[in-house]
Amino acid sequence: MAQLRRDSDEYAKRGAKLLGVVVQRLTRLEAYLRGHPMPYPMLADEKREVTRAYGVYIAFGLDSFRIARPATFLIDPAGTVRFIHVGKHQFDRPRPERVWQALDALGGPRPAGSRPG
């Protein structure tokens, strides 16, 4: 979440809308957000329905128990998934440059000074 918070302006410049989904109780998420507000909406997937549907839920692993792997999905306006990164462990996230390249390939707005993909 910290990386998304840090890069949220860059996502906005590229025309992307962020949505965070976490596997935890809504009350815990609300408590966290009171002390760490996010510049984008956050959803609590208490029943793990969203994370299971997107294939990122892990019931049991060497570094996890009933949580979701960190994942990034880029979904175009028509609802088609255009980019997927599912972490191999809890600290595996895509390099921002890979995400910017995928966003640019979708043909949305680009920040000033950037080159087309």
Would you write out the chain's pLDDT as a tens digit for each of its 117 residues?
777 888 889 888 888 888 998 888 999 999 999 999 999 999 999 998 998 898 887 766 555 556 678 888 898 888 888 898 988 887 888 988 899 899 888 876 666 555 544
pLDDT at residue 4, as a whole number: 81
Q: How do the domains of the chain map onto residue ranges?
A: 2-105
Gap between the Cα atoms of 102 and 98, Å rounded: 6
| Alpha-carbon dihedral 26, 28, 29, 34, rounded to 10 degrees | 120
CB 84 within 8 A of CB 72: yes
pLDDT at residue 57, as a whole number: 77
Q: Which fold has domain 2-105?
A: Glutaredoxin (3.40.30)
pTM of this structure:
0.75
pLDDT at residue 110, as a whole number: 60
